[in-house]
Structure 1
């Protein structure tokens, strides 16, 4: 009977170890930074980004704490004016209570470029 207990414990320990390793790999893939280009809008109730090529809209979380500041420094009189941005980010699942209308949440880790001028191409249409 003692041998069966040891085998049982070893089996579940192995399963747990394999499961832990596979989850670690998934987290690393999700947190891998991506460079995005598109339109960002900011205001009291909305922080959104539209990927002009894929036509997807994302809720924005500014972990770098520079995107909202840079937007405000552009001096708009009205909120929600779209600007062109290039940023390094990663994507996470959106919280259903706050931003469920978005494809997912884009977490900005580094702002590369922000401009009032929207370049020619898919974003200007």
Structure 2
């Protein structure tokens, strides 16, 4: 019985040590937060953002839970209508097992600053 308790304690100690030594995935994948400006499209199978300045296209993860709600409040008749957004976000590598695999990076929106149907003149047009 003592051997069983010793093995159980050793297993738990190793598991705790392994978890303490490995940082959480969100901490290792998080990049620098920046303000992004560009076109956002949303629909049943696609959430994409195109950076107006770089022309880079990203899959979008809405960690603030406000971007999709604000988009749906426009009540578009068809999905995927582009809107102009400004938001605080950071880029992470896309998950190879999900829909985001078609994109090199995923833009994680942490705070929505502006959303409008009116696309400004300039590189976004």
For the residue of structure 2 that corresponds to 1:59, the secondary structure is strand
For the residue of structure 2 that corresponds to 1:74, the secondary structure is coil
- Runs (4+) off by over 2 Å: 27-32
Q: Is this contact kept in 2: 1:38–1:51, CA < 8 A? A: yes
1:55-83: CA deviations, max 9, x gaps? 11100000000000000001111100000
1:59-115: CA deviations, max 9, x gaps? 000000000000000111110000000000011110012212212000000000000
C-alpha distance in 2 between matches for 1:102 and 1:57:
7
Match of 2:70 in 1: 70
Match of 2:32 in 1: 32
Q: How many angstroms does 1:28 deviate by?
A: 7.5
Structure 1-normalised TM-score? 0.74
Q: How many angstroms does 1:31 deviate by?
A: 3.5
Q: Is this contact kept in 1: 2:92–2:105, CA < 8 A? A: yes
For the residue of structure 1 that corresponds to 2:97, the secondary structure is helix
Q: Is this contact kept in 2: 1:87–1:113, CA < 8 A? A: yes
Match of 2:84 in 1: 84
Q: Is this contact kept in 2: 1:61–1:108, CA < 8 A? A: yes
* Aligned Cα root-mean-square deviation (Å): 1.9
Q: Which stretches in structure 2 are left out of the alignment for 5+ residues?
A: 1-20
Q: Is this contact kept in 2: 1:56–1:103, CA < 8 A? A: no
Match of 1:118 in 2: 119
For the residue of structure 2 that corresponds to 1:80, the secondary structure is coil
The alignment status of 1:105 with 2:102, answered yes or no, reads: no
C-alpha distance in 2 between matches for 1:93 and 1:32:
13
Q: Is this contact kept in 2: 1:40–1:50, CA < 8 A? A: yes
Q: Which stretches in structure 1 are left out of the alignment for 5+ residues?
A: 1-19
